[in-house]
Amino acid sequence: MRDRGYFLVFVIAVFLQILANNFLHLPSYLIICILPTLICLAPLRIRTPFLLIIAFITAFATDFLSSGILGLTAVSLLPVAFCRDFFYKLFIGKESFVRQDELSSKKHGFFRVSALLIPSLLIYFLIFVLADAAGTQPLLFNGLRLLCSTVSSFLLSILLVKVIAP
Amino acid sequence: MARGQRNYAILVSAALFIGLEIAAFGMLSSSSVLQNVWINRLSHRTMAALWGWEESVNSYFSLRKKIEVVTRENEELSSAVRALQKELLRAGIDNPELSEGFTYTPATIVKMSRNNRLNYVILDKGSEDGVEPGDGIITSRGVVGIVDAVDDHLSYGQSSMNLYSKVSARIGHSGMVGPLSWDGRSSNKAKITDLPLHISVEKGDTVYTSGLSAIFPAGIPLGTTGELSIVNGATNELEVSLFQDYTAVRYVTLAKKERKEEISSLEELANTD
């Protein structure tokens, strides 16, 4: 997918995320977030410093336009942007990274793309859940919340992969 | 991309990540009281861990200085104890640990050989510090050697791990006295020779300096007794496990017998007669 197409999907997905945050009332142990997936699927031409800025602005806008705590999404999303290149080299391959291949579930395989997404989602939700609980929730609740949120967001991310990186 | 450029890019990314993460934490902290308390607690814990780590590193690197200070304090305390013991003696109170008639100087080992049969030790105190040949080199755990020669600022001594070195030792506080010498093999074993055949010694008894020579004060614990064996059918030889670890010793005390010249001239007079 060309960069323009990616950015179009990106804007729509962020808009949908804001809508979901405001109007979708989910149980307290479930969080749906596709922002880490969007960051992971960003074209490799976007280098880490720019990706960090994009992640920060996106997270700030999401928190500002949602009823959430300002800064919570940014705190969780920045490590995902910072680790994106590392995870890409680790799970998709160094050669592919050097060639700046477009990520494709058909070309690179579904499992490799999943391997890229799952650690990113785990990092995001681990920080999000811990920062949101702020030491007031028991470990079991936090663990369950992390697991449910990662699984559900991963399932949703698969749909996004089909659109951005078919 | 060249390695230098790659490193530069990583540094820029890391710096930007840290900066944006701090900004995000700042926003989080100011937008919610709960998160503010949590972040404060986290930062306090991190700072405490960092300070603790820094303190550990600092204290590790200042250990040598601290040891020197403690050694000096120890020497001052020992002097005070000895002064008190003298007072006790004057007051007529018997004290077996008494080491009257000696002056003490703390010293540090500059060099010490351990792997020869005639081992030696060099100390950082010399004639300008009042050290003389014949002074005893001791620690709280035993006898290290005897000063043989002195320079202005250094002194050379015969180590106790030397086949010619002999220390007058007593088994228990009031037991049999005999010469203690190194066994020539291990660094923690010595033997008391020339003991009469009729004596019996309990295993594990403490061996002290006898104080009968003009080199070492009496009552310094040297080690514990081991096996007793007959030599040539004429005398007993007692194995002694030493307290002093010669591989780790660094700080010592020099013991100088007071009125040593008077004793020497008296001995010379007796020999000429």
Q: Does position A2 have pLDDT exceeding 80, yes or no?
A: no
Distance from CA of A58 to the nearest CA of B (A): 12
Which residue, B61, B85, B108, sits at the end of a domain? B61
Segment A95-101 shows an average pLDDT of: 78
Q: Is B211 left (phi over 0), alpha (psi -120 to 50) or beta?
A: left
Does an H or E element contain B46, and which? Answer: helix B33-61
Which residue, B61, B86, B108, sits at the end of a domain? B61
Segment B179-197 shows an average pLDDT of: 87
**A125 band by pLDDT with thresholds 50, 70 and 90:** very high
**What's the mean per-residue pLDDT of chain B?**
84
In this structure, is residue B263 part of a structural domain? Answer: no
- DSSP string for residues in B90-126: HTT---TT--TTEEEEEEEEEEE--SSSEEEEEES--
Q: Does position A3 have pLDDT exceeding 80, yes or no?
A: no
Position with higher pLDDT, B256 vs A100: B256
**B272 band by pLDDT with thresholds 50, 70 and 90:** confident
Contact A56 B28 (CB under 8 A): no
Which chain A positions have a beta carbon within 8 Å of B31's beta carbon?
69-71
Residues B217 and B22: their CA atoms lie apart, in Å, by 67
Helix (H, G, I), strand (E, B) or coil at B237: strand
DSSP 8-class letter at A50? H
Number of domains in chain B: 2
Q: Would you call B37 exposed, middle or buried from its count of C-beta atoms within 10 A (0-12, 13-18, 19+)?
A: middle
- Give the model confidence (pLDDT) of A18-76 as tens digits: 998 888 888 888 888 889 999 988 888 888 899 999 999 999 999 888 877 888 899 99
Nearest to A72 among B26, B28, B37 (CB): B28
**Nearest Cα to B132, choosing from B105, B110, B169?**
B105
Which residue, B32, B61, B90, sits at the end of a domain? B61
Number of domains in chain A: 1
Segment B7-14 shows an average pLDDT of: 86
- Parallel, antiparallel or unpaired: strands B189-195 and B155-162: unpaired
Segment B201-205 shows an average pLDDT of: 86
Contact B155, B138 (CB under 8 A): no
Segment A124-147 shows an average pLDDT of: 90
Full residue range of the structural domain in which residue B128 is found: 65-258
Contact A49 B35 (CB under 8 A): no
Position B164, amino acid: Y
Residues A124 and A105: their CA atoms lie apart, in Å, by 22
pLDDT score for A82:
92
Residues B86 and B218 reside in one and the same domain? yes
Nearest to A52 among B17, B28, B30 (CB): B17
pLDDT score for B17:
92
Q: Does position B228 have pLDDT exceeding 80, yes or no?
A: yes
Contact A69 B28 (CB under 8 A): yes
Residues A55 and A43: their CA atoms lie apart, in Å, by 14
Which chain A positions have a beta carbon within 8 Å of B37's beta carbon?
134
Contact A69 B31 (CB under 8 A): yes
In this structure, is residue B183 part of a structural domain? Answer: yes
Q: Does position A83 have pLDDT exceeding 80, yes or no?
A: yes
Residues B32 and B157 reside in one and the same domain? no
Full residue range of the structural domain in which residue A100 is found: 3-164
pLDDT score for B84:
80
Residues B198 and B82 reside in one and the same domain? yes
In this structure, is residue B273 part of a structural domain? Answer: no
Contact B243, B204 (CB under 8 A): no
Residues B34 and B126 reside in one and the same domain? no
Contact A70 B9 (CB under 8 A): no
In this structure, is residue B230 part of a structural domain? Answer: yes
Distance from CA of B51 to the nearest CA of A (A): 23
In this structure, is residue B271 part of a structural domain? Answer: no
The contact set of A with B (CB < 8 A) is: 47-49, 52-53, 56, 59-60, 69-72, 74-75, 78-79, 81-82, 131, 134-136
Distance from CA of A124 to the nearest CA of B (A): 13
- Token pair listed for B268: 């010379």
Segment B40-67 shows an average pLDDT of: 85
ipTM of this complex prediction, to 2 decimal places: 0.86
Which chain A positions have a beta carbon within 8 Å of B9's beta carbon?
47-49
Distance from CA of B111 to the nearest CA of A (A): 54
Residues B208 and B175: their CA atoms lie apart, in Å, by 10
Residues B72 and B45 reside in one and the same domain? no
Residues B156 and B179 reside in one and the same domain? yes
pLDDT score for A96:
78
Residues B108 and B220 reside in one and the same domain? yes
**B15 band by pLDDT with thresholds 50, 70 and 90:** very high
Q: Does position B145 have pLDDT exceeding 80, yes or no?
A: yes
Nearest to A134 among B16, B24, B35 (CB): B35
Q: What is the CATH number of the domain that holds B99?
A: 2.40.10.340
Distance from CA of B48 to the nearest CA of A (A): 19
pLDDT score for B20:
93
In this structure, is residue B76 part of a structural domain? Answer: yes
Residues B23 and B131 reside in one and the same domain? no
- Give the model confidence (pLDDT) of B71-107 as tens digits: 888 878 887 887 787 777 666 554 444 456 788 888 8
CB pairs under 8 A between A and B: 70
Q: Does position B10 have pLDDT exceeding 50, yes or no?
A: yes
Which chain A positions have a beta carbon within 8 Å of B13's beta carbon?
47-49, 52, 82
Residues B255 and B257: their CA atoms lie apart, in Å, by 7
- DSSP string for residues in B202-234: -TT-EEEE-S-SSSS-TT-EEEEEEEEEEETTT
In this structure, is residue B26 part of a structural domain? Answer: yes
pLDDT score for B95:
46
**B273 band by pLDDT with thresholds 50, 70 and 90:** low
The contact set of B with A (CB < 8 A) is: 9, 12-14, 16-17, 20-21, 23-32, 34-35, 37-38, 41
Residues A30 and A37: their CA atoms lie apart, in Å, by 17
Contact B107, B147 (CB under 8 A): no
Residues B101 and B55 reside in one and the same domain? no
Contact A70 B16 (CB under 8 A): no
Q: Please, what is the end-to-end C-alpha distance for chain A in angstroms?
A: 9
Nearest to A49 among B16, B25, B38 (CB): B16
Side-chain half-sphere exposure of B216, counting CA atoms within 13 A: 28
